[in-house]
Copies of this chain bind each other. A is one copy, B any other.
Amino acid sequence: MAKFTSLKEAVADNLRDGDVVAFEGFTHLIPHAAVHEAIRQGRKELTLVRMTPDLVYDQMIGMGMAKKVVFSYAGNPGVGLLRRFRDAVENNWPHALEVEEHSHAAMANAYEAGAAGLPCAVFRGYKGAGLKNVNSNIREVVCPFTGETLAAVPSVRPDVTFIHAQKANRKGDVLIEGIIGVQKEAVLAAKRAVVTVEEVVENFDDVHPNACILPNWTISNVCVVPGGAHPSYAHGYYIRDNASYVEWDAIAADREKFTDWMNKNVMEKDETVFASRIENLKGAGK
């Protein structure tokens, strides 16, 4: 049953050194505030699972928190490469990084299978693809009816998943709207789940019956962190801060610049800073 707590408390209660952790959100609703709190708490030896590692894992990898990353697209969407991730893979800085690489289809199916309580996901994929040769977690299953060879990957079962959502109600049920990505699956696949939200509303009586809602008994902690997705966005609250994504490229390109930026913008701040970061992005663009 979801408890309402501060983000600091939620991270301390749920994220441990060595955990397999997913911070999910497909472009939309990326839980930046939760990642920054995890960075401040200095967790280590994490296995980071995420379809698109994006800025959040670039930051955690650069801060030396990751033992391994499980992913399907390690780019800065629309901008270019992830330079801290590259530096870790190419130069072992700040230390070596283990890589388990999949396709989007495989990762999406692996989350789905995790939510479904299955040990593996079965799908039609990786035909002729090189990843099969470098990832021993890509295997095969034969359809017992047609004989077709299908791909199989292990399901994703994180120790803990962090997501950002638009709203919780007073009971701690959580509503996700718009581009919903794999968040429902990432929460249901995990042992524990922490959700940061833009706001708490009285009830969801006026919400569509088939909207994406996570009941409170699927969630460990709910934390109210307005702006907690910035520079990603929260549909209906504020738009994507594309300029910050572009700026990240230069920041991450240089180890010293990166460290300075992390100190100034993450280590010396707390979760309350996010509300101010979205001031100029509310209701913009439309």
Contact = CB atoms under 8 A, between A and B. Distances in A.
Contacts of A140: 144
Interface in A185-208: 207-208
Interface string A97-126: 000000000000000000011111011100
Number of copies: 2
Nearest to A138: B144
A211 interface: yes
A120 B139 contact: no
Interface residues of A, number: 31
Contact of A118 (B123, B137, B177, B178): B123
Interface stretch (A17-25, A146-154, A254-262): A146-154
Nearest to A137: B145
A143 B152 contact: yes
A143 B119 contact: yes
Contacts of A212: 210
Contacts of A130: none
